[in-house]
Chains A and B, each alone.
Chain A
Amino acid sequence: MKIIVCLKQVPKNDSILRINDQGNWIQDRDLTYEINESDAYGLEAALQLKEKQGGEVIALSLGPARVQSVIKEALARGADRGIHLEDPAFDKLDAYGIAAVISAAAKAEGFDLLLTGLQSDDYGFAQTGVIAAELLGLPHATIVMDVQPGDGSLRVKRELENGYFQWVSMPAPAVLTIQSGINTLRYATLKGIMGAKKKEIKKLDVTALGIDKAALAPRMEFLRVYVPQKSKQTQFIEGSPAEIAASLMEKLRNEARVF
C-alpha cells in the first residue's frame, strides 16, 4: 500500500503569541514549531498500516525550508521518503491553494491513501484534505479513527457527536482526515535518526508541479486578528443583606435587563 501523509508544521502548541504589526496574523519572530497534532496521528496510522500491509509511506510537507525538520522527524520515525513542496508562490496560500498544490503533487506521485490531519492547530479550517479529495475526484472521509483496508476498498471508522461512531466503506484510492489521539505515537529511535539521513527528500516547486500560479491566488484573506476583549465585569455590592438584595434586584432589572 502506498500512503502519502501530509504533515503541517505549526507553531508549538503553547507558544507565546504576539500579533504582527499589520494586525492580520501572529508575529513569526521567536516562534518554535512542531508537527500539527492530528497529522502526527496520521503518520502513526500510516506507519502501522505499512507494518501490517507492507508498502511505502511518503511524508509530504508544504512550506519554507524550516518544514524540512518535520519531514526529517517523519523519516526518523519510519517514513520511507519525503516530499517538500517549497516555492515563494506558496507563501500565503489559503486552504484551497494548499489543497491545490498538495493534490498536484499527490497525483504526480500516485497513491492508495492520502492522509491529512483532521484540522491544523493554527488555522483550524479542516478543509485541506476535503478540498484535495474534490480536486482529485476521489472519495474522502473525515474525523477518521480507524482504517481497515480491503481489496481495492476501505472500511473506516468515523467519530460522530456524543460518543457515536460510524463505519463507512469506500473504494480506494481515497483521502482520509485523521482524528487526534487514535493511536500511540512512536518515538524516533537512534537507528531511525541515523537512517533518516540517507533517505530521499524530493523538493518540488511550481514549475516542477506544473501549477499555474494564478490559480493559487487566495480566495480568502485575513482582515484582522485580535485578542478577545474581556467583556465580563465584576462588581461588589456592599451594605446590609437587605440593601444588597435590593441593589442586586435593581441592577439585574435595569443594567443587566434579565427580567
Chain B
Amino acid sequence: MERDSLEVDVLFVGAGPASLAGAMRLRQLINKHNEEAEANGGKKLDEITIAVIEKGREVGSHMISGAVMDIRPLEELLPDFRERGAPLESEVTVEDVSYLTRRFKIRSPIIPPPLDNHGKYVVSLNKLIRWLGPIVEESDVMLIPEFPGAEMLYDGDRVIGVRTGDKGVGKDGEEKDNFAPGADIFAKVTVLGEGSRGSLTKKHVERLKLDEGRNPQVYAAGVKEIWELPKGRVTPGFVMHTLGYPLPNDTFGGGFVYGMQNDLLDIGLVVGLDYQDPFTDPHRLFQQFKQHPAIAKMLEGGKMLYYGAKTIPEGGLFSQPKYYGDGFLIIGDSASFLNSQKLKGIHMAMKSGMLAAEAILEALVADRYDNETLRKFETLVRESFVHKELYEVRNFHQAFRHGRRWGLIESGLQYLTGGFGLLGDLETEAGHEKMKKLHVFNRMPKRSGEVPEPEPVKYDNQITFDKVTDVYRSGTEHDEDQPSHLKILDFNICINRCTQEYGNPCQYFCPAAVYEVEESGGGRKPKINFSNCVHCKTCDISDPYQIIDWVTPEGGGGPNYINL
C-alpha cells in the first residue's frame, strides 16, 4: 500500500484545548483578514487549510483535567458559548482549603489568595472538548482523530510536517493484512499541542536543543476518579483543595474535590514526580487519600464511575523550551504554559494557542514561516496575561524542593514579593534525578538475591480499588496485536541494576499496572501490559535511567475518558 500524503497550510498536533482554540482562532482571523481585505481592496489569503490530528479515537477521548477553569479565553474565542450550550458544571460556589493530618482535617479560616477561585468555573475538560470539537470543525478546520503524529518531518532543521503512525502492524513488527502506512502531512507551520511530555515535542526539543540554558522540566502526576453520589449530596461548584496527608513532607502535591452536575463528584490527588522514595505510587497514595476519614465520609454510599491519570508540567517559566522556530510553534502544556501555583493550564493552553494563531496569520500574510517571523508568537505571549501569570509564579514549584513546610513559607513570601521570595530565582532538578536509591531508605533486602518490595495494600472495592479495576473504568483499549508502544531501550538495566538499586519503581509510579516484573525460571523478567496504558507519560518522565521511551501506539488506542 502506498503512503498517503497531504498538504495543508497549518497543522496542529493534538486536539487539546491549546490546539482547538488555536485552530479556531486562526480560522476567525483569516476570515476577518479577508473581509477587511475585501473592504479595503487589500490582498486576500487564498484558501487556507487548517488540520488538527489527534491520537485518540475521538476528539476528547484523551481529555482529562481537574478542573477549575478561568474562562476568559473561552469568552474571547466564543462570546456566545453559553447560547451554544457550553457544558460548564457550575461557577465556583463553596471553597474549602484544608490541611490533612492522618486523622484530622484542619480547614483554613481564610482562602489563601493564590487558591482563591472566586469567579472561576468547575468544568469537565473532557465534556468541554467533546462539545468544542464539532464547533471547531464547523468553522472549517479538519479534525482528524485516530492519527497520531509519530515523527516530525524536516528539511534540514526546518520543520515541514509530521508523519502519522502506521496501522496494522503485528506484535513482532510484521505487516498484517490490513497494514496501512502512516501518512505524510506537510504544512507551512506545524504547531505542537501534544500536552504534557509530548512525544514529538520531546524529540524535537532535543534535536534543536530548544531547552538549552533552561531549567529541566519538572512534572506532577494527577490521579483521579469520578464518583456518583446519592441524589442531592453534591453541591455543584464546591471546590476543596487539601495539603498534607497522605503525601510525605518531601513530596509536592495535594488533593482536590470538585462538585459537578448530576450528583457527580470529581476527586483526585496530584503528586510531584520529583519525589525521593522509589516506592512512591501516586495511585496508591490516592487510595490512602480517599481513606482519610474526612474524604471517606464524603464518598459514603457513592459509586466510583470513571478513572484516569495524567501528568502536569509544573516547571513554569524557567522550564519553557524555546517555543518557536523555522516552521514550528509549541503551545499549551507541551511548552509548559501552565500556572503551577494554581494548577491551572486550560486557560493558558487556550490563550497560547490563540496567540500562536495571531503569529501564524502574520506569517501567512507575509508568506514567511521562518524563525524570525514566528518569533512574533513570543512577543505576543510577553504582552499577554499568560506571561504575567507565569512570571508571578515562576519560583513556585522550586520552593517545595526543600520539603513542604519550607515550601509553604517560601511560596507565601513569593506571593507577597511578586514571585521573588526569599531565595530569589530558583533552579530545578529533573524529577528522575531526585529519586534516591533504596539503601537511602533502608530498604535493602535482608538477604542478597531477595527483592525489596513495599508493604502490600488491601483494596476494599468500596472506596479503594486496585489499579486493574481502576483502569477498566478509564475505558482504555489498545489492539493487543501491535508492538508495545513503551520502548525499553535496555532490558538488562531493568534486571541487573534497577532491581537492586531502585527496586523497579516503574511498578509503582505507573498508575495503570502496565509494568510488572515476573519471576520466571529463577530469573526476573519485566512484563509490559501496554494495552493498559492510559497515556499519562509518567514512565517516560520518572524512570531513573531514562530508558523508557513512550511512543504513540496505533491510532485510536488509549483511554476513552468520559467526564474526566
B144 at the interface (CB under 8 A from A): yes
B contact residues around A191 at 8 Å (CB): 4, 6, 183
A20 at the interface (CB under 8 A from B): no
B contact residues around A189 at 8 Å (CB): 4, 180, 183
A16 to B306, Cβ gap below 8 A? yes
User: Please, how many angstroms separate the alpha-carbon atoms of A106 and B14 in the complex?
Assistant: 40
B contact residues around A30 at 8 Å (CB): 562-563
Q: Which of B261-295 contact A (CB under 8 A)?
A: 262
B201 at the interface (CB under 8 A from A): no
Q: Which of B459-476 contact A (CB under 8 A)?
A: 472-473, 475
B167 to A16, Cβ gap below 8 A? no
A contact residues around B6 at 8 Å (CB): 190-191, 194
Q: List 8 A-B contacts (CB under 8 A).
A: A16-B306, A16-B475, A30-B562, A32-B58, A186-B180, A190-B6, A190-B164, A191-B183
A contact residues around B167 at 8 Å (CB): 187
A14 to B164, Cβ gap below 8 A? no
B178 to A186, Cβ gap below 8 A? yes
B contact residues around A187 at 8 Å (CB): 167-168, 178, 180, 555
User: Please, how many angstroms separate the alpha-carbon atoms of A194 and B144 in the complex?
Assistant: 10
B contact residues around A12 at 8 Å (CB): 475, 560
- Name the distance in Å between A140's Cβ and chain B's nearest Cβ: 29
A190 to B4, Cβ gap below 8 A? yes
A190 to B475, Cβ gap below 8 A? no
User: Please, how many angstroms separate the alpha-carbon atoms of A85 and B562 in the complex?
Assistant: 28
B contact residues around A246 at 8 Å (CB): none
Closest B residue by C-beta to A15: B475
- Name the distance in Å between A91's Cβ and chain B's nearest Cβ: 21
Closest A residue by C-beta to B1: A189
A contact residues around B477 at 8 Å (CB): 14
Q: What per-residue 1/0 map shows which CB atoms of B154-190 lie under 8 Å from chain A? A: 0000000000100110000000111010010100000
A contact residues around B168 at 8 Å (CB): 187
A contact residues around B562 at 8 Å (CB): 16, 30, 32
Indicate the member of B164, B185, B475, B555 with the most A CB atoms within 10 Å: B475
A193 to B144, Cβ gap below 8 A? yes
B61 at the interface (CB under 8 A from A): yes
A184 at the interface (CB under 8 A from B): yes
Indicate the member of A188, A190, A191, A193 with the most B CB atoms within 10 Å: A190
B contact residues around A188 at 8 Å (CB): 146
List the 5 shortest-distance A-B pairs measured between CB atoms, nearest first: A190-B183, A184-B177, A190-B4, A187-B167, A187-B180
B176 to A184, Cβ gap below 8 A? yes
A contact residues around B473 at 8 Å (CB): 16
Closest A residue by C-beta to B53: A190
B413 at the interface (CB under 8 A from A): no
Q: What per-residue 1/0 map shows which CB atoms of A175-197 lie under 8 Å from chain B? A: 00000000011111111011000
A29 at the interface (CB under 8 A from B): yes
Q: Which of A11-49 contact B (CB under 8 A)?
A: 12, 14-16, 18, 29-30, 32
B147 at the interface (CB under 8 A from A): yes
A contact residues around B185 at 8 Å (CB): 190
B4 to A32, Cβ gap below 8 A? no
Which of A15, A18, A184 makes the CB contact (< 8 A) with B178?
Answer: A184
Number of CB contacts from chain A to chain B under 8 A: 48
B498 at the interface (CB under 8 A from A): no
B contact residues around A18 at 8 Å (CB): 228, 305
User: Please, how many angstroms separate the alpha-carbon atoms of A188 and B560 in the complex?
Assistant: 20
User: Please, how many angstroms separate the alpha-carbon atoms of A30 and B177 in the complex?
Assistant: 35
Closest B residue by C-beta to A16: B305
User: Please, how many angstroms separate the alpha-carbon atoms of A194 and B8 in the complex?
Assistant: 12
Closest B residue by C-beta to A194: B6
Closest A residue by C-beta to B475: A14
B contact residues around A14 at 8 Å (CB): 472, 475, 477
- Name the distance in Å between B9's Cβ and chain A's nearest Cβ: 15
A contact residues around B61 at 8 Å (CB): 32
- Name the distance in Å between A81's Cβ and chain B's nearest Cβ: 21
B180 to A32, Cβ gap below 8 A? no
User: Please, how many angstroms separate the alpha-carbon atoms of A191 and B147 in the complex?
Assistant: 12
User: Please, how many angstroms separate the alpha-carbon atoms of A58 and B183 in the complex?
Assistant: 26
Q: Which of A149-190 contact B (CB under 8 A)?
A: 184-190
B contact residues around A193 at 8 Å (CB): 144
Apart from A184-B176, A185-B178, list 17 A-B contacts with CB within 8 A: A12-B560, A14-B475, A14-B477, A15-B475, A16-B306, A16-B475, A30-B563, A32-B61, A32-B475, A187-B168, A187-B180, A187-B555, A190-B4, A190-B147, A191-B4, A191-B6, A194-B6
B contact residues around A194 at 8 Å (CB): 6
Q: Which of A194-211 contact B (CB under 8 A)?
A: 194
User: Please, how many angstroms separate the alpha-carbon atoms of A69 and B167 in the complex?
Assistant: 21
A contact residues around B472 at 8 Å (CB): 14
Closest B residue by C-beta to A12: B560
Closest A residue by C-beta to B145: A193
Knowing A16-B305, A32-B560 are in contact, say whether A190-B144 is a contact too (CB < 8 A): yes
Indicate the member of A18, A184, A187, A188 with the most B CB atoms within 10 Å: A187
User: Please, how many angstroms separate the alpha-carbon atoms of A57 and B177 in the complex?
Assistant: 21
B262 to A29, Cβ gap below 8 A? yes
User: Please, how many angstroms separate the alpha-carbon atoms of A195 and B147 in the complex?
Assistant: 16
A contact residues around B4 at 8 Å (CB): 189-191
B contact residues around A29 at 8 Å (CB): 262
Q: Which of B226-255 contact A (CB under 8 A)?
A: 228
Q: Which of B206-233 contact A (CB under 8 A)?
A: 228
User: Please, how many angstroms separate the alpha-carbon atoms of A169 and B200 in the complex?
Assistant: 54
A contact residues around B475 at 8 Å (CB): 12, 14-16, 32
A contact residues around B555 at 8 Å (CB): 187
User: Please, how many angstroms separate the alpha-carbon atoms of A199 and B228 in the complex?
Assistant: 42
A contact residues around B144 at 8 Å (CB): 190, 193
A contact residues around B176 at 8 Å (CB): 184
- Name the distance in Å between A35's Cβ and chain B's nearest Cβ: 12
B contact residues around A16 at 8 Å (CB): 305-306, 473, 475, 562
User: Please, how many angstroms separate the alpha-carbon atoms of A32 and B305 in the complex?
Assistant: 14
- Name the distance in Å between B121's Cβ and chain A's nearest Cβ: 19
B contact residues around A186 at 8 Å (CB): 178, 180
A contact residues around B58 at 8 Å (CB): 32
Closest B residue by C-beta to A188: B146
Indicate the member of A15, A16, A185 with the most B CB atoms within 10 Å: A16
B contact residues around A190 at 8 Å (CB): 4, 6, 144, 147, 164, 183, 185
Indicate the member of A29, A30, A184, A188 with the most B CB atoms within 10 Å: A30
Closest B residue by C-beta to A191: B4
Q: Which of B518-564 contact A (CB under 8 A)?
A: 555, 560, 562-563
User: Please, how many angstroms separate the alpha-carbon atoms of A68 and B62 in the complex?
Assistant: 22
- Name the distance in Å between B7's Cβ and chain A's nearest Cβ: 11
User: Please, how many angstroms separate the alpha-carbon atoms of A187 and B181 in the complex?
Assistant: 10
User: Please, how many angstroms separate the alpha-carbon atoms of A249 and B472 in the complex?
Assistant: 41
A contact residues around B183 at 8 Å (CB): 189-191
User: Please, how many angstroms separate the alpha-carbon atoms of A15 and B305 in the complex?
Assistant: 10
- Name the distance in Å between A67's Cβ and chain B's nearest Cβ: 14
